[in-house]
Amino acid sequence: MSRAASAGPAERWFGDRFGGRPEGVWRAPGRANLIGEHTDYNQGWVLPFALHLGVTVAASQRGDGVLAIASRQAPAAPAGPPLATLAPGAVTGWAAYPAGVAWALREAGHRLAGGASLAIDSDLPQGAGLSSSAALECATALALAGLYGLDLSRRELAALAWRAENDFVGVPSGIMDQSASLLARAGHALLLDCRSGETADVPLDPAGAGLELIIVDTGARHALGDGRYAERRSECDRAAALLGVSSLRDVASLAALSGLADPVLRRRARHVITENGRVEETVALLTGGDLAGVGPVLLASHASLRDDFEVSWPEADATVDAAMGAGALGARMMGGGFGGSALALVPAGQRAVGTAITAEFARRGWPAPAFVPAVPSAGALRVR
């Protein structure tokens, strides 16, 4: 679905719920991550790109200080917290994401005095590891900044959306998803240095290379808040502390890991260090016009996430094996892990990979996976 086409449903939804025409419509995409997994909260590098699927928010200012939120995907559960009462824990469920953004803006000293009506529509699958929550936060952040004329850079908005997720919703994510949604450019991946915040656009044009990137939604559902993601974060923090560095980014070589007595912490740290290296390698390959050469790097990333970081899940492993057996150039699990989607790099128009994955799922008695083409798209924007 194109962005222009998707403004209509959100506008009509606004009319149904609040009456009249919204002052504006904003849209923020979900993301895929080409490579750089579990490196963001270790102050390392990531290389995500924006998807063509996302969240649209049709919005207007109000005069009563209320944040009225209605989602087309959850029509039975509208929310209407007064802005003045917003505090962590005060709003739960999906509405906590947009409410958290209003809270983070207020905490940063921005006035949204009259409140806002937000009509939300999404074409992103939820729980598929494509950052539907970050897209919701970022679309809300752009909408509120637009309605109230707030002078905030995309980077500042990403930091506020990230704060909403961490400090209001209570999910301890890194900064990758919000950055990708707000900062990515069409036809490019976004290289982000998660320590300095510096970014660079790296050309990513699968079609031009005669290839396709395919997202495989494995159907296994994950939740970043279920504790296992936080456990990985604290293992990384412990490893860094034991190695005497402020984050694993600062570990210069694998040799230094002999200083870690605990084999689990050693494996976790090894993943982060080698994954940072794989981001660098991928950027060099893409800059040199060799997308096909990225295939083996994706596969090495998967092995590291499966064996060293231990965040893969059976459906992702089966997807990667079936894809490689049917002629993919590379494949790996994507996102936080324990469920969600995998990414495969395949020759354009080649159907054998999808067929092989579907057949493998059927053989194992799993529900059929869903396939989403991953086209590097533009970051968030005002649709009208």
Per CB under 6 A, which of residues 199..258 are in contact with ligand GLA?
Answer: 224
Q: Which of 11, 37, 121, 235 binds ligand GLA (CB under 6 A)?
A: 37
Does residue 38 bind ligand GLA (CB under 6 A)? yes
Q: Which residue's CB is nearer to ligand GLA, number 44 or number 81?
A: 44
Measured distance CA(91)–CA(85) in Å, rounded: 10
Q: What is the 8-class DSSP label of residue 165?
A: I
Question: At its nearest, how many Å lie between ligand GLA and the CB of residue 162?
Answer: 8
Does residue 336 bind ligand GLA (CB under 6 A)? yes
Pairing of strands 341-347, 199-203: unpaired
Unique residue bearing structure tokens 């009462």: 85
Question: At its nearest, how many Å lie between ligand GLA and the CB of residue 136?
Answer: 13
Q: Which residues make Cβ contacts (< 8 Å) with residue 12, sequence separation at least 6?
A: none
Does residue 98 bind ligand GLA (CB under 6 A)? no
Q: Which residue's CB is nearer to ligand GLA, number 240 or number 326?
A: 240
CA dihedral 348, 349, 352, 353 (to 10 degrees): 40
Q: Is residue 177 annotated as a catalytic residue, yes or no?
A: yes
Does residue 176 bind ligand GLA (CB under 6 A)? yes
Asked if residue 369 lies in contact with residue 217, where contact means CB atoms within 8 angstroms, the answer is yes
DSSP 116-163: EEEEEEE-SPTTSSS-HHHHHHHHHHHHHHHHTT----HHHHHHHHHH
The catalytically annotated residue of 121, 177, 217, 308 is 177
Angle at 279 between CA 273 and CA 282, to 5 degrees: 140
Q: Which of 122, 132, 173, 276 binds ligand GLA (CB under 6 A)?
A: 173
Q: Which stretch binds ligand GLA (CB under 6 A): 35-43, 137-145, 151-159, 237-245?
A: 35-43
Does residue 278 bind ligand GLA (CB under 6 A)? no
Measured distance CA(1)–CA(4) in Å, rounded: 8
Q: Bridge partners of 28?
A: 55
Unique residue bearing structure tokens 């997807």: 319
Q: Which residue's CB is nearer to ligand GLA, number 88 or number 172?
A: 172
352: burial class by Cβ within 10 Å (0-12, 13-18, 19+)? middle
Q: Which of 13, 41, 94, 309 binds ligand GLA (CB under 6 A)?
A: 41
Q: Which residue's CB is nearer to ligand GLA, number 36 or number 81?
A: 36
Q: Which stretch binds ligand GLA (CB under 6 A): 169-177, 185-193, 214-222, 372-380?
A: 169-177
Cα dihedral 186, 189, 190, 194 sign: positive
Q: Which of 10, 17, 40, 204 binds ligand GLA (CB under 6 A)?
A: 40
Does residue 182 bind ligand GLA (CB under 6 A)? no
> Structure tokens of 265?
């912490």
Q: Which of 98, 335, 369, 376 binds ligand GLA (CB under 6 A)?
A: 335
Q: Which stretch binds ligand GLA (CB under 6 A): 36-44, 278-286, 312-320, 371-379?
A: 36-44
Q: Which residue's CB is nearer to ligand GLA, number 37 or number 235?
A: 37
Residues that bind ligand GLA (CB under 6 A): 37-38, 40-41, 173-174, 176-177, 224, 335-336
Show which residues are catalytic. Answer: 177
